Amino acid sequence: MNNDPKIIVALDFAVSSSALALAERLDPAACRLKVGKELFTAAGLVVLERLMRLGFEVFLDLKFHDIPNTTAQACKAAAELGVWMLNVHALGGRRMLQAAADAIANTGQHPKLIAVTLLTSMAQEDLADIGIAESPAQLVVRLATLARDCGLDGVVCSAQEASLLRANLGKAFCLVTPGIRPALASLDDQSRVMTPQAALLAGSSYLVIGRPITRAADPLQALRAINLEIGNIEIGVQA
């Protein structure tokens, strides 16, 4: 089994019992888990610790965005929980990003610190509303470059942006992409989706996948089927 599974299963649940029941049906050797704002706000540390005790590495998706000192302290606290990955908003700026990276380096833990560039829910007109004239693609490259220059390990981005970012930011930069749908899966509320293979070929490092696995009749079988499908793909190689 791959010791660096590419799939991060999004545990988008409102209560810990549902999240834990699903986790118990998965395999820590075959995926990581993402705990976001809903589950963390509802179930906090208890669920995080129980997931880690089941053997899973956890991406704590809380997207910190605050003044540098507050963000740094939040990142330090998250690192000390033992999470595998955590994130901040790149729009917090250079000093905030550097403070976050420094805070984590000083903990002795080595979680991956990644940045959200521009939320994929933001379109050109939303940028205009907040006074940004650049196109979303230009802004995403600018913010990802800033994150890399501040010592972050990577960014969360749309799979549609992965090849552009891979070309601009090099092989080592970590690209975490949601909006993934196996060829025959329901789109749910996602619109611009990519298949797991296409996303990896475009340069994604890790795939965030929720409902195609969490709502499957057999979540482990769905996870294994996707892992089988992507088994031979070399990360970041252009199609």
Under the rule (CB under 6 A), what is the footprint of ligand C5P? 10, 12, 36, 119-120, 178-179, 188, 190, 208-211
Residue closest to ligand C5P when measured from CB atoms: 210
Instruction: Give min distance, CB of 222 to ligand C5P, in A.
Output: 11
CA 124 to chain centre: 23
The answer to whether the beta carbons of residues 40 and 60 sit under 8 Å apart is: yes
CA 112 to chain centre: 10
Nearest residue (CB) to ligand C5P, 10 versus 48: 10
Instruction: Give min distance, CB of 105 to ligand C5P, in A.
Output: 26
The answer to whether the beta carbons of residues 31 and 221 sit under 8 Å apart is: no
Residues 70, 96: Cα–Cα separation, whole Å? 9
Return all residues near 66 (Cβ < 8 A) that are at least 6 apart: 74, 92, 96
- The three-state (H, E, C) secondary structure of 25-60, written as one string: CCCCCCCEEEEEHHHHHHHHHHHHHHHHHCCCCEEE
Instruction: Give min distance, CB of 61 to ligand C5P, in A.
Output: 7
Q: Please report the sign of the dihedral spanned by the C-alpha atoms of residue 213, residue 157, residue 172, residue 79.
A: negative
Nearest residue (CB) to ligand C5P, 50 versus 211: 211
Identify whether 63 is a catalytic site residue. yes
Nearest residue (CB) to ligand C5P, 119 versus 237: 119
Nearest residue (CB) to ligand C5P, 44 versus 237: 44
3-state secondary structure of 73: helix
Nearest residue (CB) to ligand C5P, 120 versus 205: 120
Instruction: Give min distance, CB of 211 to ligand C5P, in A.
Output: 4
> Per the residue annotation, which of 6, 34, 63, 112 is the catalytic one?
63
Residues 151, 115: Cα–Cα separation, whole Å? 11
Instruction: Give min distance, CB of 12 to ligand C5P, in A.
Output: 5
Give the angle subtended at the CA of 3 by the CAs of 29 and 72, to the nearest 5°.
Answer: 95
Catalytic positions, written as ranges: 63
